[in-house]
Structure 1
Amino acid sequence: MAVRRAHTVIPGCIAVYWVLLAVTRGDVVLVPSLSDPGGATAPLLQFVPISLAAGLMLSLESRPKHWEDAAVRRVDCFDAALAVATTSAGAAIALVHGFLVGADDVVATGRNAVFLIGIMLCARLWLGTAAISVPVLWLFAVFLVGFRSPHDPYPWTVVAEPLRTPHALIATVVAFAAGTLSFFIAPRRRS
């Protein structure tokens, strides 16, 4: 994992994630929207999980391909463990921070991080490093066409749903489980 810089990249991204959780609470930005012609306001917290996803993708894709392809130990297990650990840390930080400040939107950011990382890991099978664009594109799709009215998101959006929405929780669990399983669907890499 040292070659992948996981020991420096992941803690750094987790720290950035935590700081962004603390400083962006309540802040909004104006984003284009087809459902609201004047533009929609998006909480900056929606974009915070990108920092965690980017760090994870950088670490996963920084592998020395020739070394790992010729190795003996299974690298996919280590990759899956790194993804689960990183995502769990992000969700735990959001959960603790959200309860400390009494903000459901911060806790929902942890759920959103798990969902966005899950879809990124699924897309990684086909896109490789470019899969980091999937969570970003998902967020832009949500803000562009994901609302029936300014405060009524479609169910498929997941990240725009309130914290206690059951279908968003189910979609998050399914996306992350599929993303984690994608490590074992891909061609076996050993180390």
Structure 2
Amino acid sequence: MDPNHRTNRAVAGLAAALLSCLLTATAACAAPGATGGGSPDPTPSGDSRRYGHAELEAAAARISAYLQREHPDHYAGIVLDPAGPAVIVYRRASAELDTALRRRFADVPLKLRDAPHAARELDALAERIRGDAEHWRRRGITITSVAARPDGTAVEVGTREVAKATAELPKRYGEAPLRVIGANPTLLTPSP
């Protein structure tokens, strides 16, 4: 089997696992005020009694697809609220988006949160960092993970060389919203 095909399949599997993780994000990611943005929307819209975990995941996927297609300059990310049955939507403030979202998904329990950056912006930065992995490896920094945070605050860059990466990455990416975290390499086992 071609090694690039294996890598692509492994990356696709990792992306699917990451999406699942993002949809069931930790309380730290989805905590009110975690974005540093405006005040949190304390009460979800919609009827939360109708939604179990699977239904919320399906609704979150539909909402995410809609926002990526119709509001890409505002949409940052989406997670399930760990505190109760609701979908938390992180977006750059937009009354038009909020109205459209509540109208189109009126039955879904939604909580809207402000985000400083759109996913499109963070994804472009994440792709640039991934493309620079060899550059960083030659400088003694092994990038083990790169992911845009669903709350729109930053691109998380995982490495074992946290202090060095924290000092060096801004030299290449300037004032880009980066968050360097400690992360060991993940061994990906390709599917048969």
**TM-score for both structures, normalised by structure 1:** 0.30
Which structure has the greater CA radius of gyration?
A: 2
**TM-score for both structures, normalised by structure 2:** 0.30
